[in-house]
Structure formats: structure tokens, C-alpha cells
């Protein structure tokens, strides 16, 4: 998958993983579809970027005697997800066009 | 590899970053390894799932702007190499950096010169307007009433135009301030990544304020009143274009088309100068 496109998909996936309850790093890695190949090393900069953009907030919660960072989606994040979903018709159109030229 | 070895090596690769950022990244990976072990993996398996420390460090640095990232990468390979490159390469990168700063500054200056020009136009209109009002007094003193009315009209009109131009200049200045802020962000982006300017906040302030609308309306009325007054003065003079003719130099003074003695009237000396 092209790097720029994958970045957009990953961002949408992570925001989607946080759309329900707040979640933490390992849980997000498990939740996001395996085909995205999300690992911690890709997740870390992604979370930082989303946090900086105001799409998510983070807080530390004690868990089994250690701290765990929980992330929660914000209204800006919800808006970002909607924007992503709204792109679907134009993506479909592009796929249709490419497919037609191949037949 | 054990958890602590991984974290230590990771921190070593990130030594170019501020310590709190290193700690943040360290904690993120420590949590990820601990969560995997809690999920039933062995320590070695959990650490292996993170990839190599070098890969993890590379990914954490990927969001840095171009220049610090290049420095961090070189430094990770070898601190000596970084210094050798910095010294040997200085004939190249120092002039480049100076040129870059020069270009960035000149673009910044160009932006502000446009604003300055707008304000100079405003100042000129103001000076002309005030001069016309002074000439109105001169017209009254010498008893040339059509001239006085025409000059009053010109004065009021120019001052109205000054306020109109002032509002435009203010708007231009505000837009340019935004532009220069955007430019500053762009110019430093290879070195430092700041927050993107909040476009929603800027858009919300787009609407004109009540005060500015009133100011514009008053200025417009001034211009209209000025034109009417000037027309009245023109009509009163018997539609003689010479009514607008003012010529003040060191040897002669012509007011409303007639030559007068400069010692008879106030202000002339000041304006003449």
C-alpha cells in the first residue's frame, strides 16, 4: 500500500479503535485489522500526532502496580473519522475508473 | 533480549531528544512489553514483537522535521561522524544556512513593505485633507467663498477617503500578519515542528465588527458630503475650474485662480514650506 494512503488508513483505524471506550497501546494494536500491520513502533508517532492535532486525549491509569496510558477520542477526532468516511464515494469512483480502463 | 536491555538500547538511540521525550517513549515500550507478558507471552517473545531497538527509535524519530532528524540519524551512527561532517561540511552548510535565513527574512520584509505602502497612502490622503481644510480658512480670510467651499469639500472628501483607505489598510495588515505567521511556520518547518495555525479560529473572526461598519459608513458619508460641497463651490464660482487651483511657491501665491499677497493670509507660510 502506498505510504501516504496507509498513513491515512492507519489514522482512521486508530481513531475507530478509540471510538467506543478509551483504550491503550497494546489493545489498539490487537483491535486494528491485522492487514494494516500495525505495530508499536508505528503506533507511537501516530498517537503523538493525533494527540497534538487534538483528535485524542491521554491519561495515565494505574494497572497492576504500573502505569498504563489510556487514550480517548475527542470531538475533533470524531469529525476526522466522519471526514474519512465521507471520502468513500470519491474513492469508489476512482476504483471504478481504474477498473474500467483495465477491462 | 530482555526488557531492560531493549529499553536501555532504545534510550541510547534516542539520546538526541530531550530527556522527557525519551522517558515518554521508554514508558510506551515498557507498557507494551508488560501488556504482552500479561497476555501470556514470555519476556523474550514480548520484546521480539517490538522489533529491534534501532527500528523503534527510527519510528519514534520519523515525526521530527528534516534537519533535526538528519542530525539525530547521523549521531546515532556515530557521534564522531556527526562532528566530522559538521566541521568538514561547514563551507557548504554555513553559507546555505545564511542564504536560507536571508531569503526567509527578505520574504518577510516584502510582506511588510506591502502593508507599509498601504499606510503611506492613508497618511498622504490625511495630509492632503488637512491641507485642504487649512486652505478653507485661507479662502474665508481672503473672502473667496466659492474657493473656501470647494476646499472644505475637498478636505472633508479626502479625510473620508483616508478613513476608507485606513480600514482597507488595517484589513490588509491583518491579512499580512496572518500570511507572515504562516510564512514563519513554513520557514522554520525543516528545523522545528510547531502546532499548525488554527484555521477555524481565524475563520470565526472573519465577520466585520460593528465598530468598523460604523466607521466605514461615516467615512463614506464624508466622501459623499465632500463631493457635494466641492460641487457647490464649483457651481458658486460659475463653473470655473480655476476654483480648485492653488499654487503656492516662494515667489507667488495663487488661491482659487487669483494671485494674492502672501503676507495677507495665515497658514500660507507653513504650507508653502
Burial class (CB in 10 A: 0-12, 13-18, 19+), B244: middle
In this predicted structure, what is the pLDDT of residue A18?
92
Whether B31 sits inside 8 A of A26 (CB atoms) is yes
Q: B40: Cβ–Cβ under 8 A, 6 or more apart, which residues?
A: none
In this predicted structure, what is the pLDDT of residue B200?
47
Rounded to whole angstroms, the Cα distance separating B95 from B92 reads 6
Question: Please, what is the average pLDDT of chain B?
Answer: 82
Mean pLDDT of B58-83: 75
Among B121-125, B177-181, B209-213, whose mean pLDDT is lowest? B209-213
- With residue A70 as reference, give the H or E element that holds it: strand A66-73
Q: What is the percentage of chain A residues whose pLDDT exceeds 90?
A: 46
Q: Are the CB atoms for B47 and B3 separated by under 8 Å?
A: yes
Kindly report the pTM of this predicted structure. 0.54
In this predicted structure, what is the pLDDT of residue B178?
86
Whether B51 sits inside 8 A of A69 (CB atoms) is no
Give the pLDDT band (50/70/90) at residue A57. very high
Nearest to B26 by CA among B9, B45, B7: B7
Among B22-36, B60-74, B139-153, whose mean pLDDT is lowest? B60-74
Rounded to whole angstroms, the Cα distance separating B64 from B73 reads 11
In this predicted structure, what is the pLDDT of residue B184?
82
In this predicted structure, what is the pLDDT of residue B204?
47
Mean pLDDT of B254-263: 73
What 3-state DSSP class applies to B73?
helix
In this predicted structure, what is the pLDDT of residue B18?
79
Distance from CA of B94 to the nearest CA of A (A): 31
In this predicted structure, what is the pLDDT of residue B193?
63
Whether B32 sits inside 8 A of A26 (CB atoms) is yes
- ipTM of the complex model: 0.87
Could you tell me the sign of the dihedral formed by the alpha carbons of B202, B206, B209, B212, in that order?
Answer: positive
In this predicted structure, what is the pLDDT of residue B121?
94
Could you say which of A25, A39, A66 has the minimum Cβ distance to residue B51?
A: A39
Rounded to whole angstroms, the Cα distance separating B83 from B12 reads 18
Give the pLDDT band (50/70/90) at residue A13. very high
With beta carbons under 8 A apart, name residues in chain A contacting B60: 41, 44-45
With beta carbons under 8 A apart, name residues in chain A contacting B51: 39, 41
pLDDT tens, residue by residue, B11-23: 888 877 778 888 8
Distance from CA of B194 to the nearest CA of A (A): 10
Please give the distance of CA B127 from its chain centroid, rounded to a whole number.
26
Q: B88: Cβ–Cβ under 8 A, 6 or more apart, which residues?
A: none
Best mutation target among B59, B194, B197 (most A Cβ atoms within 10 Å) is B59
Distance from CA of A38 to the nearest CA of B (A): 11
Amino acid at each position: 500500500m502506498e505510504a501516504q494512503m496507509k498513513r491515512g488508513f492507519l489514522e482512521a483505524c486508530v481513531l475507530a479503535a478509540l471510538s467506543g471506550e478509551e483504550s491503550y497501546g497494546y489493545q489498539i494494536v490487537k483491535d486494528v485489522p491485522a492487514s494494516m500491520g500495525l505495530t508499536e513502533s508505528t503506533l507511537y508517532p501516530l498517537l503523538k500526532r493525533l494527540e497534538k492535532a487534538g483528535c485524542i486525549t491521554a491519561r495515565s491509569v494505574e494497572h497492576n502496580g504500573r502505569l498504563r496510558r489510556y487514550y480517548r477520542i475527542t470531538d475533533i477526532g470524531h469529525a476526522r473519522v466522519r471526514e474519512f468516511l465521507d471520502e468513500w464515494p470519491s474513492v469508489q469512483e476512482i476504483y471504478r475508473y481504474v477498473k474500467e480502463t483495465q477491462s | 533480549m530482555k526488557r531492560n536491555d531493549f529499553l536501555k538500547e532504545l534510550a541510547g538511540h534516542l539520546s538526541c531528544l530531550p530527556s522527557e521525550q525519551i522517558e515518554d517513549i521508554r514508558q510506551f515500550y515498557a507498557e507494551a512489553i508488560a501488556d504482552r507478558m500479561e497476555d501470556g507471552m514470555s519476556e523474550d517473545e514480548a520484546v521480539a514483537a517490538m522489533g529491534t531497538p534501532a527500528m523503534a527509535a527510527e519510528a519514534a524519530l520519523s515525526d521530527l522535521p528534516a534537519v533535526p532528524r538528519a542530525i539525530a540519524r547521523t549521531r546515532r551512527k556515530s557521534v564522531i561522524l556527526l562532528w566530522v561532517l559538521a566541521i568538514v561540511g561547514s563551507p557548504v552548510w554555513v553559507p546555505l544556512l545564511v542564504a536560507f535565513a536571508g531569503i526567509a527574512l527578505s520574504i518577510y520584509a516584502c510582506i511588510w513593505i506591502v502593508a507599509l505602502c498601504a499606510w503611506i497612502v492613508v497618511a498622504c490622503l490625511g495630509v492632503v485633507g488637512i491641507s485642504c481644510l487649512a486652505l478653507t480658512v485661507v479662502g474665508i480670510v481672503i473672502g473667496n467663498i466659492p474657493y473656501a467651499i470647494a476646499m472644505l469639500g475637498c478636505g472633508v472628501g479626502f479625510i473620508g477617503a483616508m478613513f476608507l483607505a485606513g480600514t482597507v489598510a488595517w484589513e490588509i495588515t491583518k491579512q499580512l500578519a496572518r500570511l507572515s505567521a504562516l510564512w514563519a511556520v513554513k520557514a522554520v518547518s525543516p528545523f522545528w515542528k510547531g502546532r499548525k495555525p488554527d484555521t477555524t479560529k481565524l475563520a470565526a473572526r472573519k465577520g466585520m465588527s460593528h465598530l468598523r461598519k460604523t466607521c466605514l459608513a461615516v467615512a463614506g458619508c464624508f466622501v459623499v458630503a465632500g463631493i457635494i460641497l466641492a460641487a457647490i463651490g464649483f457651481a458658486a464660482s460659475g463653473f470655473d475650474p480655476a476654483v480648485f487651483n492653488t499654487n503656492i511657491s516662494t515667489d507667488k501665491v495663487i488661491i482659487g485662480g487669483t494671485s494674492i499677497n502672501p503676507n495677507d493670509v495665515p497658514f500660507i507660510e507653513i504650507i508653502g514650506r
